[in-house]
Amino acid sequence: MTEKDFIPSEYTKLVTKGGVTWKSPSNIALIKYWGKEANQIPANPSISFTLDTCATTTTVIYKKLENKAQDFSFDLFFEGSLKEDFKPKIQTFFKRIENYLPFLKSYHFKIETSNSFPHSSGIASSASGLSALALALMSLEKELNPEITQEYFIKKASFIARLGSGSAARSIEGDIVQWGNHKGTTNSSNLYAIKYPYEVHKSFKKYQDTILLVDKGQKEVSSTVGHNLMHNHPFAKERFKQAHENLDSLKDVFANGDLKKFIEIVESEALTLHAMMMTSLPYYILMKPNTLEIINKIWAFRQRTNKSVCFTLDAGANVHVLYPESEKEETLQFIKDELVAYCQNGQYICDQIGFGAEELKVRKE
Ligand code: DP6
């Protein structure tokens, strides 16, 4: 499919008002998206576990305007209060997607959004937030054109979410999701994410992710700035090639359940992501001393017990501790005994692989 396939023809129905609510999860990348071209085209393919507990719930209430407006018309409420400072991000998002959802200027939108995780936890909310909004807008498109298929709905929701935030493309479906052209993956695309299409060993069922909140402060360097620093980065070419190779290897790992190899790929990806930041110009470090303390504790625990616990990082100081469900009890004990001390205010979130976004209820107003 190409971009043109997402431009709708005339809508068949008139819809004057309505509302819809979607709950959309966050995701954690195993192979990282880091670097992009114009129009949110990723520099390399990525793959993630969809999460379950960490999610954004968004209600969009829409009302048709008498005449198409000059500009987008919307109010944004975050956790119950009007949020003017979030508006520019939505404005930019609407501008990027207007071509594909041409009804946007014909409605006034009331957008109410809230997260299941603490606002200032440092957890990226762009994946869950923008996927939830993309899905809500797609629900309106489906009302205007009831003919669209479920398959098209999902693809276009991911396509629209991607234009808001790259990683949001991977938050529509579960449980393992891939985004970006990859030779070894049939139907993979730079335009939208797909559900991982191959066999997955039972060891990965209900894989656990305990998120250790090391630093809840605002990130010093945003992901958008970080992605841009991959242009002219001295190691970019090799890094993009490595992501393709890691995806090839991960395909075998998913099929045969080789957790040792899984750990090697996932931890290497996390450290490579941060190595890219440290070797950008300007260079920067998002890990904190406690991030490293935790990594060392995890390595020592693994050495001692031969368990399959490992870590990954997103673009921040927090640590995602990944482990199979069969090792849940002893790993949680280890986390409580040895890792929680390094979390800000002792805070952590227990999550696991989830199965994607869900529509909660339709509210007509
Ligand atoms: C490190 O999706 O937040 O989490 O497309 O600019 O919104 P934008 O970037 P974003 O980048 C996520 C980067 C990452 C890795 C990943 O999720 O693959």
**pLDDT band for position 118 (50/70/90)?**
confident
Positive/negative CA dihedral, 10, 11, 17, 20:
negative
Determine the pLDDT at residue 228.
97
Q: Which atom of ligand 1 is nearest to the CA of 127?
A: 2
Length of the chain: 365
What is the average pLDDT across 128-149?
97
The residues lining ligand 1, judged by C-beta closer than 6 Å to any ligand atom, are: 29, 32-34, 40, 46, 124, 126, 165-167, 223-224, 227, 273, 314-315
Those residues with Cβ within 8 angstroms of residue 98's Cβ, 6 or more apart along the chain or in another chain: 104, 105
Cα(277) to centroid of ligand 1, in Å?
13
- pLDDT category at 160 given cuts 50, 70, 90 is very high
What is the pLDDT, as a whole number, of residue 119? Answer: 67
Q: What is the mean pLDDT of the chain?
A: 95
Q: Which residue has the higher pLDDT, 308 or 86?
A: 308
**How many A from CA of 189 to the centre of ligand 1?**
17
- Please name the residue whose Cα sits nearest to atom 12 of ligand 1: 167
Whether 362 has a pLDDT exceeding 70, the answer reads no
- Kindly give the pairing relationship between strand 107-115 and strand 73-78: parallel
Distance 226 CA to ligand 1 centre (A): 9
Structure-token pair, residue 296: 């060392």
Residue 164 CA: which ligand 1 atom is closest? 7
Does residue 364 register a pLDDT over 70? no
* Lowest-confidence segment of 10-14, 44-48, 232-236, 299-303 by average pLDDT: 10-14
Q: Which atom of ligand 1 is nearest to the CA of 168?
A: 2
Q: What is the pLDDT of residue 204?
A: 98
Rounded to the nearest angstrom, the distance between the alpha carbon of 165 and the centre of ligand 1 is 7
Closest protein CA for atom 4 of ligand 1: 314
pLDDT in tens, 325-354: 999 999 999 999 999 999 999 999 999 999
Read off the pTM: 0.97
Q: Answer whether 161's CB lies under 8 Å from 168's CB.
A: yes
Burial 25-47 (b: 16+ CB within 10 A, else e): bbbbbbbbbbbbeeebebbbbbb
- pLDDT tens figures, 190-225: 999 999 999 999 999 999 999 999 997 777 788 989
Structure tokens at 162: 């991607």
